[in-house]
């Protein structure tokens, strides 16, 4: 009889194969939609150029309708791009990383946008944190997305606090803003795919963030008070928690 660990390994391998097949099918469907959508957008661009040269009231009304179609095409293309990032299964390239250094890099990248938005950045990064294993590109994108969400929650400016700290079996990262916050119902659904409270939002930014963090062996949670602000907390484990038969984790499609 095969040992239990071997049975689990075989089950996990089959699940990975199934999820990767679903990801391929979903990605292929998204690409098939993008191709005609691009054609529609380019055709609308050409129509808009024709109508802009006319002073006819009828043509000006037609131009307004074409511009609406162009705007919706652009929105759909963004949704498809976000979905492809959500659906694409790829193995993480984990490397020993100084977490504070990585956080500094994202903050430096975000700082010009913070200045434009009148947002004060405050850093409280604990010294002597243990090294963590990160896919630096994926983690950079996840942290930046959370900062951009905070910026959008503070349209009139505010403060964003970023802090790191040791935990019993890993490290923690808090991103705290004093923006508009969210109600309890929104907090319960915020990591659901395609759920969004933002006009034109794809509803995939935070689900992608959760998948990336969970693929690192960690977790992400939110605590918010409507009208007062939001705190996102990321937990990342120490390297021993990430080593699974030498296989890097996969970001899966689905819940």
Q: Are residues 14 and 70 in the same domain?
A: yes
Same domain, residue pair 109 and 173: yes
Q: And the tokens for 14?
A: 């089959």
- Residue 243's pLDDT is what? 41
| pLDDT score for 141 | 86
82 and 101 co-located in one domain: no
Q: Which tens digits make up the pLDDT trace of 2-22? A: 455 566 566 656 655 655 665
Cβ atoms 60, 54 nearer than 8 A = yes
Domain boundary residue, one of 60, 87, 114: 87
In the structure encoding, which two tokens stand for residue 77, read together? 């293309």
Task: Check whether residue 127 and residue 179 sit in a common domain.
Answer: yes
Average pLDDT, the chain: 80
User: CB within 8 A of 52, min separation 6: which ones?
Assistant: 63
Is residue 6 exposed (0-12), middle (13-18) or buried (19+ Cβ within 10 Å)? exposed
Taking every pair of Cα atoms in the chain, the longest distance, rounded to a whole number of angstroms, is 82
Q: Based on the domain organization, do 140 and 227 belong to the same domain?
A: yes
What is the pLDDT, as a whole number, of residue 24? 65
Domain that holds residue 76: 4-87
The confidence band for 222, taking pLDDT boundaries of 50, 70 and 90, is: very high
Which tokens hold the place of 46?
A: 């050409």
What CATH number did the domain enclosing 183 receive? 3.30.565.10
CATH number of the domain enclosing 77: 1.10.287
Q: Which among 87, 106, 121 is the end of a domain? A: 87
What is the pLDDT averaged over residues 165-181?
Answer: 91
Query: What is the value of pTM for the model shown?
Result: 0.65
pLDDT of res. 14: 62
Quote the pLDDT of residue 172: 93
3-state secondary structure of 191: coil
pLDDT, tens only, 103-143: 999 999 999 999 999 999 999 999 988 889 888 888 998 89
Q: What is the pLDDT of residues 27-36, one digit of tens each?
A: 677 777 878 8
Angle CA(167)–CA(173)–CA(174) in degrees, nearest 5?
120
Closest CA to 213 of 135, 97, 129: 135
How do residues 65-110 score in pLDDT, each as one tens digit?
888 888 888 878 877 776 766 666 556 788 899 999 999 999 999 9
Q: How far is CA 254 from CA 11, 18, 104, 174, 251, in A?
A: 17, 11, 32, 26, 10
Q: How many domains does the chain have?
A: 2
189: in domain: yes
Mean pLDDT value of segment 214-240:
88
**What is the Cα Rg of the chain in Å?**
22
pLDDT at 99: 93
pLDDT at residue 239 is higher than 80: no
Q: What is the mean pLDDT of residues 147-160?
A: 91
Do 131 and 170 form a contact (C-beta atoms < 8 A)? no
- Structural domain contains residue 139: yes
Which of 17, 52, 87 delimits the end of a domain? 87
What is the arithmetic mean of pLDDT over 156-169?
91
The answer to whether residue 248 is domain-embedded is no
């Amino acid at each position: 009889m095969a040992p239990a660990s071997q049975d689990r390994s075989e089950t996990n391998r089959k699940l990975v194969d199934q999820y990767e097949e679903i990801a391929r099918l979903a990605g292929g469907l998204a690409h098939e939609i993008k191709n005609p959508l691009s054609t529609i957008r380019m055709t609308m661009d050409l129509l808009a150029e024709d109508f802009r040269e006319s002073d006819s009231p009828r043509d000006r009304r037609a131009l307004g309708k074409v511009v609406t179609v162009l705007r919706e095409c652009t929105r759909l293309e963004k949704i498809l791009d976000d979905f492809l990032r959500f659906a694409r299964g790829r193995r993480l390239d984990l490397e020993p990383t100084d977490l504070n250094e990585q956080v500094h890099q994202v903050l430096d990248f975000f700082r010009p946008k913070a200045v434009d938005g009148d947002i004060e950045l405050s850093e409280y990064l604990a010294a002597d944190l243990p090294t963590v294993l990160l896919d630096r590109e994926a983690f950079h994108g996840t942290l930046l997305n959370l900062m951009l969400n905070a910026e959008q929650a503070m349209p009139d400016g505010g403060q964003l606090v970023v802090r790191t700290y040791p935990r019993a079996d890993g490290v923690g990262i808090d991103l705290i803003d004093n923006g508009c916050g969210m109600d309890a119902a929104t907090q319960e659904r915020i990591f659901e795919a395609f759920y969004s409270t933002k006009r034109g939002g794809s509803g995939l930014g935070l689900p992608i963030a959760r998948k990336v963090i969970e693929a690192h062996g960690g977790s992400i949670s939110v605590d918010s008070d409507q009208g007062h602000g939001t705190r996102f907390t990321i937990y990342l484990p120490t390297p021993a928690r990430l080593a699974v038969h030498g296989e890097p984790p996969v970001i899966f499609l689905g819940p």
